[in-house]
Amino acid sequence: QVQLVESGGGLVKPGGSLRLSCAASGFTFSDYYMSWIRQAPGKGLEWVSYISSSSSYTNYADSVKGRFTISRDNAKNSLYLQMNSLRAEDTAVYYCARGSTYTPPDYWGQGTLVTVSS
Amino acid sequence: QSVLTQPPSASGTPGQRVTISCSGSSSNIGSNTVNWYQQLPGTAPKLLIYSNNQRPSGVPDRFSGSKSGTSASLAISGLQSEDEADYYCAAWDDSLNGHVVFGGGTKLTVL
């Protein structure tokens, strides 16, 4: 069965950095687009970034562009999100999710909490 | 401010039928398919409907989806207490090099 397991969240000070990881299993990872989606406490879902199956294409929400970098390692069935210059408004649960071209995600991980606070 | 517009709340009594609307534009719902997700408290979103009206294996047929033009709807018939959750619509948006957009979510209360 499809499994997505995020890790790497935690408490970080404003201006700090964090790297999230997502371990995928149960499907052919290299066949799928992957996305990061976040949810601030008590708020709705916000798309953060996506990466194509071969890493040829990436895209970012304006709110994170220039600060976050998405990457993947198909040999390790893993997705990553490098987050730099973190701000209080980046505080959220971050989900990795599987998708296909031009469609929203189907499977989601359980999420990892990132808290940006001094 | 979410790109897709959903009512913030909906309610119904057990056994009733409830519908949740999702309004978008030509760059998202008007030209791409819609997914619906159910999010129970403290859990990750779960796919409820994909490709406008398809149910994944294991989702009861009490849940149905439809799309017309730039709007979509989720219908829940035979409402049950365990349906109390947040519901989100989502679609691919062709603008800004392509990205996923979400509705703001609808909190469904079973009275």
| Cα of A93 to nearest chain B Cα, Å | 9
**Parallel, antiparallel or unpaired: strands A45-51 and A58-60:** antiparallel
pLDDT at A101: 78
Quick one: average pLDDT of B63-69? 97
Long-range contacts, B77-80 (Cβ 8 Å, 24+) = B77/B17, B78/B15, B78/B17, B79/B12, B79/B13, B79/B14, B79/B15, B79/B16, B79/B17, B79/B18, B79/B110, B80/B14, B80/B110
**pLDDT class of B96 with cuts at 50, 70, 90:** confident
Cβ contact, residue pair A44, B103, below 8 Å? yes
Cβ contact, residue pair A105, B100, below 8 Å? yes
| Cα of B88 to nearest chain A Cα, Å | 8
pLDDT at A37: 97
pLDDT at A2: 96
